[in-house]
Structure 1
Amino acid sequence: MTKSKTLSLLFLMYHIICISQVKSSLSYQEIRKYYETKELNDETALPAVNTFIKKAKASNDDRALALGYRDAVAYSSVVDVKLKFADSTIHAALRTKNNDLISDAYLGKGILYSFNLKKYQPALDEFLKAYNYSRDSEDEYLKHKVNYHLGNVKSYLGYYEEAIGHFNNSINYFESGSKRSANPNTNYNFKKGYFNILHQMTICYRNLNDSNISDSLIELGINLTRQQRDFQLEYSYFLKCKGILYFHKNKPNDAIYYLNKALPPILKKNDFTWASVIYFYLGNVFINNGDEKKGIAYFTKIDSIFNKHQFIFPEVRRNYEFLIEHYKKENNAAKELYYTKQLLRADNIIVKDFKYLSKKIFREYDRRKMDDEKERLESSKFLTVIIALVVVSCTIAILIYRRHREKVLTKKYIELQERLTIYKNKLESTNQISEDDTQLKKQIVSDEKAAELAKKLAAFEEKNQFLQKNLTCKKLAEQFKTNTHYLSTYINEVKGTNFNKYLSELRIRYITNLLNSDRKYLNYKIDSLAAECGIASRQNFSDLFFEINGIRPTDFIKMRLKEINNN
C-alpha cells in the first residue's frame, strides 16, 4: 500500500471516528468543541457541524440552526457551497425574529460576495440589510463590523474621506477589544478587524496623497503583524502597501523587494485582486527602469486575471493604456486592438459598479442615516438645515455621476473614432486577398476550395451583401454553392469567430461608418438604423452596437452631432 493511500485511509477513519463520537445527545457547546479550534475552510469540521445542525432541526431551535449554518459557511471550502449555507443562515435567522442574528446573517453573505467573489453590487445589498437590522442593536461588535464593511465599499468607490470616517469610528473599538479579550477566537476576530481597518486606512490616505500618515500606519501594521503566525496574510498586505509607497517615492529597488515579498502569501490565499495590484506596480517599476519586456509580462498577467474573474480595481485599469501604447509603437495592430477592447470592457465594469454603488450609498445608507438624525432632531430648529444638506449632497452626487459618465462616453467615442480610422486605413492599404485568408486545415477544406471561399467572402463584404435580412449560414452557403459545414468551418478558422458574430460585426461596422460619414443617418431612428444594416430587432441592434463598439448608438449619435456642431 502506498504512503498516499495509507494517509487517505487514516483520514477516512478519522472522519468515521469523529462522526461516531459526536452524539446528538451532547449539548451544542459540547458538539462545537469537536471543531471550534479548526482552521477556517477546514472541511474535516463538517461532520460535527452537520450533527449540530441536525440537533437544532430535531429541537426546532431556529437560533441554534442559524448558528449551525453559520459554522457551515465558515468551514466549507467551496464558495458556492458557502453561499447556499449563507442563505440557510438567513432563513433560519429570520424565523427567530432576532435582529442581531438577522443582521449577522446578512453581513456574512455580504462578506462572501465582497471578499471571496469581489461582487460589490450584491455585497452592498447584503450590508445595507445588515445595517438596517443592526440600527437598534446593543451588540457593539456587530454594529462596528457592519460599519467597517460599509467603509470598505466607500473606499472602493473612491470616497476616501468618508471611508476614513467609518474606520475612525471603529478602529479604537477593535484595537481595545484585541487587548482585553481572553477568549482566543474573540481575540482573533478583534485583531483581524483592527488589522484590516489599518490596511484600508493606509490605502485611503495614500489615495489622498497624505504619505506621512499612510507611511506611519504601514509601519505600525508591519510591526504588529510581523511575528504573528495567524496574520501573515495581513502582514503581506502591509508589505504590499510599503512597496507601493516606495514606488511613489521613486525607490525602485525597495519597491521591488517589498512587492515581491508580499506576493507569495497573497497568491497562496488566491487573493487575485491584490495580486493584480502588485503586478501593476511591478510592471510600472520595470517600465520606468527601461526593462519594458519584463514590465509588459507583468501587465499581461493582470489581463489573465481580468479574463478569469471579470474584475479589476480602478487604479489597475491604466495597465491597458500601457499595453495599447506598447503595441502601437511596435505596429502590432492585432494586439493593440485586443487591449483596446479589454480597456473598454474594464471601463464598462468599473463604470457599472460606480454607477450602481454610488446611487445605492446615497439612496439607502446616507439617506437612512439622515432620516435617523431627522427623527432625533425632529423638534429641533436645525431640521431645515439637515434637509438642505441632504438635498445638496444628493445634487452634488448626481452632478459628479453625470460628469463622470460624460467623460467616459467621450473617451469611448474617441477610441471608436481611432478604431474606425485604423480600419479605414487597413482597407485602403489591402488590395488583394491575404494568404492567411486562403489557408485552412487541409483535412477539412482543400486549398482550392479555401481560395474559392476567400474570393467569394471578399466579394460578399465588398458588395455589402451582408445587409440581406434573415441571412443564415445555410442561405449564404447556398448562394456560394458550397457546403454549410465548409463555410462555417472556414469562417471559424480564418475569421476567428462564428458565422453569427462575423455577420453582426460586418453589419455594425457598416452602419457605424455611415453614421460617422453621412450626417443624414444621424437623424434616423434606431429602428430605421437597425433595418438599414439588416438587423430585425431594435434591442438586438442596440445590444450588438454596444458589444462591438463599447457605446450605445444613441450616445454615439449625440457625441457625433456634438462634434459636427463644434466644428
Structure 2
Amino acid sequence: MTKKYLLVLWVGLFHNAYTQQNNLVISDSLSAKNYEYFSNNIRYEEKDSIKERLYAQSWLAKAKREKNFCQMTQSYKALIYSSDNKLQLKYADSMLTAAKSTADIELIGSAYMTKGIVQYDRKEHMNALDSYLIADEYISKTNNHYLIYKVKYVIAQVKYYLGFYDEATALFQECVNYFKGKNDRAYLNSLHSLGLCYNRIGKYKLCSQINQTGISEGLRFKNLEMQSYFIHSEGVNQYFQHNYTDAIKKLKKVLPIVIDNKDFINETTAYFYIGKSFWDQKLQEKALPYLKKIDEAFQKQKYIRPHLREAYEILIDYYQQQSDKALELYYVKCLLEVDQVLLKDYKYLSGKIHKEYDTKKLLQRQRNIEQYWTVIICIIITVMTAIIALLAHRHNKNKKLFQELMNRKPETSKLFVANGSKELDINHELVAAILKKLEKFEYSKKYLEKEMNLLKLASLLNTNTKYAYKIIAKYRHKGTIEYITDLKIDHIIELLKSENKYRIYKNKSLADEAGFGSTQNFTRAFKTRTGISPSYFCTELNKSLTADILK
C-alpha cells in the first residue's frame, strides 16, 4: 500500500509540474525576478528537481513575455537538465528553435551541442554525432576556443563509443593539449579518455603513461575525483599486458568507489576484467561469480558493450563442459537477447564486432539442446546442398560476369541539367557550375590521384563538402567514395581491354595505376564493381584473345 500511495503522490506532483510547464503558471514573487536571479539559482546539480524546474519555467515565461530569444534558449537548456528524460528531447528542439531566432552562431552551436548530449544519453549515438558535427560547424566560426574544444571532446566520446578509436585518439590528444593549464577537470577528463583510447588500439605503454600522468596531475591540482578512474583504467590495461594479479588488485581497489558513485558502466567493466584475469589464470571457480555479474547488470539495466559479450561465450562453454544443459541453455538464450540489443544500439558497428558465436550458431546450439540430432541432420543436409549448388554455379556465374564486363560500354560523362537544385536547396547556377567542373574532373581523370576523397574533390570543384556530396548523390546517383572508386575501376578495366602490357601487371601495379592506397583496397573494389577478381578477369581476357587469334 505504501508503494502504491507514493506512486499516486508522485504522479500527482508530476502532473502539477507538467501543467505549470504548459500553462506557465508562476507565483508573483518569481515573475518579478530578473534573468540573473534565475541563472544563479539553477545549479544543474540535481536531476529532475521540481524546485529547479519551477525556476526554469518562470525563467521561460519571463523570456517569452519579453520575446527575448537568447534568454528563452538559456531557460530551455535549464528545463532540459531539470526535467525527466521523456521531455528532454522536446525541450532541446525548442531550445534550438529559440537559438536560431537569435542568429547568434555561438548560441546556435551551443544549442546543437546540448541537443547532442541529450541524444547521447538516449543512446541515439549517431544522431548525437550528427548534432555535434553541426555544432562544430557553427562554433568553429567563433573565437570561443573553450567551446570549440568542448565540441571536439564530445565528438571524440561518440567516436570512442562507436569503436572509431584512432579518430577519437587524435581528438582527445588535441583536447589534452588545449585544456592543460586552462581547465583542470577538463584536462583530467581528456587525459583519462585518451588513456582508454590507447588501450583500445593496443598502445598499452602509452596508456600506462597517461594514467600515471593523470594521477600525478590530480594530486598536483588537489583534485582527486578522477584518481579512482585512472587506477580503474590501469587495471584494465594491466589485464591486456597479462599482468593478471596487478589487474585484479587495482580493479578491486577502486570497485567500492565506483559502486558508491553508482557508475554501473565502470562497475560492470571492472567485474568483467577481474573475471577474465582469474579465468586466464585457470582459476575458473573464482572467475565465474564476476563473469555472471555481466548478465546481472544486463538483466537489470539492459546495459551491454561488445567486449562484455565474451562473458556469455565463456559461461556457455563452461556449462557445456560441465554437462549442465539448463545453465547452458539459459546463457544461450541470454546471449541471443544481448545480440539483439547490440544490433540495435551498435548497428553502425555490428560488422566490426568479433563474435565467436554468431546468431545462427547460438540458435543452432539452442535447438541442439532441445531437439538434438533432428536439427543437426537438417543443418548438415542444408549446408551440403548449399555447397554443392555453390560449386556447380560458381564457374558459370564467373563466366557470365566476365562476358557482361566485356560487353559493357564505358560510361560516358555527360552534364546533367541542374533541374533538381530546388530539391537540393542549392542555387541553380551554382549547381550547374559544379556539374561542369565535375565533368572536367572526370574527363581529366583527376580521380586517379591517390587518396582522392570528398574533401579533395570539393576543393577541385571549388565548393564545400556538403554541396559536393549532395550533387554527386543527386546527379551521379552514388555516394562520393563509391563514385570515385567506380571511376578508378572502370579506368583499369578499359586499360586491360585495350592495352596488352597491363595484363601482365600484378595487382599491386594495377592498384598504383588506379591511384588506390593499397592492393587490398583495389582488389576489394574491383570485386565489388565487377563481381570477379582482377586476376580472374586478366586470365579470362588473355584466354579470349588467344582464342580469337587461333580462329
Q: Structures share a fold, TM > 0.5? A: yes
Determine the C-alpha separation between the residues in 2 that align with 1:510 and 1:192: 61
Contact 1:124 1:357 in 2 (8 A): no
Q: Give me the whole-angstrom Cα distance separating, in 2, the residues matched to 1:512 and 1:56.
A: 67
1:72 is aligned to 79
Pair 1:208–1:356, CA change in 2 (3 A): closer
Q: Please show how residues 88-167 of structure 1 align to structure 2 within 5 Å.
A: 88-114=94-120, 116-167=121-172
Cα separation, 1, equivalents of 2:88 and 2:261: 17
Q: 1:425 aligns with which of 372, 389, 400?
A: 372
What 5-or-longer segments of structure 2 have no aligned partner? Answer: 1-12, 14-25, 391-551
Task: Identify the residue that residue 285 of structure 1 maps to in structure 2.
Answer: 277
Name the aligned partner's letter for residue 245 of structure 1.
N
Q: Is 1:87 matched with 2:93?
A: yes
* AA aligned opposite 2:166: E
Does 1:168 pair with 2:160? Answer: no
Q: Does residue 51 of structure 1 match 2:43?
A: no
Please show how residues 535-550 of structure 1 align to structure 2 within 5 Å. Answer: none
Indicate if the aligned counterparts of 2:96 and 2:112 stay in contact, CA closer than 8 A: yes
Does residue 24 in structure 1 map to residue 31 in structure 2? Answer: yes
CA contact (8 A) 2:105 2:139 kept: yes
Give the deviation of 1:145 after TM superposition: 1.6
Q: CA 1:31–1:353 in 2, change beyond 3 Å: closer, same or farther?
A: closer
Change in 2 beyond 3 A, CA 1:122/1:338? farther
* Paired AA for residue 110 in structure 2: D
1:324 equivalent in alignment to 2:329: no
State the alpha-carbon separation in 2 of the partners of residues 82 and 513 from structure 1: 52
**Contact 1:38 1:45 survives alignment (8 Å):** no
1: CA distance, partners of 2:87 / 2:221 = 30
CA RMSD of aligned residues (A): 3.9
Asked if 1:256 is matched to 2:248, the reply is yes
SS of 1:33's equivalent in the other structure is helix
How far the C-alpha of 1:354 sits from its partner, in A, is: 4.8
Cα 1:408–1:66, aligned 2, differ >3 Å: closer, same or farther?
same
Alignment CA distance shift 1:246-1:514 (3 Å): closer
Counterpart Cα distance in 1 of 2:387 and 2:203: 53
Tell me if structure 2 keeps the 8 A contact 1:103–1:133.
yes
CA distance in 2, matches of 1:421, 1:308: 29
**CA contact under 8 A between 1:52 and 1:68: conserved in structure 2?**
yes
Q: Structure 2: which amino acid aligns with 1:130?
A: A
Whole-angstrom distance in 2 between the partners of 1:251 and 1:145? 35
The TM-score with structure 1 as length reference comes to: 0.56
Aligned runs of 1:518-557 on 2, under 5 Å? none
Please tell me the residue identity of whatever aligns with 2:332: T
Q: Say whether the 8 Å CA contact 2:319–2:325 is kept in structure 1.
A: yes
Q: Distance in 1 between matches of 2:329 and 2:384?
A: 22
Superimposed CA distance per residue, residues 233-264 of structure 1 (whole angstroms, 9 cap, x where no aligned partner): x3332121122133334444433332133333
- C-alpha distance in structure 2 between counterparts of 1:268 and 1:87, whole Å: 34
Unaligned runs of 5+ in 1: 1-11, 13-18, 179-190, 359-400, 429-508, 524-567
C-alpha separation in 1, matches of 2:205 and 2:221: 25
Match of 2:290 in 1: 298
1:75 CA drift (Å): 3.8
Once the two structures are TM-superposed, the CA of residue 282 in structure 1 deviates from its matched residue by 1.6
CA shift, 1:298, in A, is 1.7
Pairs within 5 Å for 1:362-381: none
CA distance in 2, matches of 1:68, 1:169: 32
Whether the 8 Å contact between 1:515 and 1:522 is mirrored in structure 2 is no
Q: Which residue of 1 aligns with 2:206?
A: 213
Provide the rounded CA distance (Å) in 2 between the counterparts of 1:46 and 1:349. Answer: 33
CA-CA distance at 1:214 after TM superposition: 0.9
Residue 305 (structure 2) aligns with: 313
1:407-446 aligned within 5 A: 411-425=358-372
